[in-house]
Amino acid sequence: MRHVSTAPAWAAVLTRALAIWLPIAAATTGLAVIVYGAVQQNLRLTADDAQVALAVRTAAHLDAGTPPSAAVPAEQLDLARSLDPFVLVFDADGHVLASSATLHGRVPDYPVGVFDTVRARGEDRVTWQPENGLRNATVAVAWQGGFVVAGRSLRPTEQHVDQIGRVVGAGWLATLTLVAAAAVVATLINPPRDWPTFGLGPRRITRAAQPSSS
């Protein structure tokens, strides 16, 4: 008696399931990257909106004759601790005239090279890092006597970006896992015609034909 097993050939099953899974996984990965990138860019760009309004308003007050010391917020903010908006006013040579921001007890150094772009375009938006771990979204505009910089900490925005990254990453992994399982099941249920039986039932046993006796 000869036994012939027709149980699923798992190497062949996995190979075909992988062929099904790979293009879907690639598309899913691309979509996840696009979603994360779009949300990250949207959050970063909108992080400048309040500073644009503050910088333009401060420049208008300065142009109307308000002294720099009166044009900036009265409260002095420590950039290492505060998340509130701040304003710096510079003269035409890039020297600080007034500031509502401090760092370790002194006015931090802003990259005055930004003002070259302001002279050419009227505005510039820069992510300013006065020291490691402190990132601020800043907007620089011109006024009649120099430049105005309005800024705010990027910490809340970066926390939102990290949260979105975790959500998108979890969805990506879950989708890849479900697609992989579905590809294996689909291969088992609907195998090619030239393969052995790939059903989930018990193995089939084929008995060799017995010679007839005369």
Residue 206 has pLDDT above 50, yes or no: no
- CATH T-level topology, domain 49-153: Beta-Lactamase (3.30.450)
Question: Mean of the per-residue pLDDT values for the chain?
Answer: 85
Token look-up 């505060």 returns: 82
pLDDT at 191: 72
Specify whether the CB–CB gap between 49 and 114 falls below 8 A: no
Q: How confident is the model at residue 1 (pLDDT cuts 50, 70, 90)?
A: very low
From the DSSP assignment, how many helices (H) and strands (E) are in the chain?
5, 7
Among 181, 165, 193, which Cα is nearest to 24's?
181
Q: How confident is the model at residue 9 (pLDDT cuts 50, 70, 90)?
A: low
pLDDT top residue among 185 and 206: 185
Q: How confident is the model at residue 203 (pLDDT cuts 50, 70, 90)?
A: very low
104-153 tens-digit pLDDT = 889 999 998 999 999 999 999 999 999 998 999 999 999 999 999 999 99
Does the pTM of the predicted model rise above 0.85? Answer: no
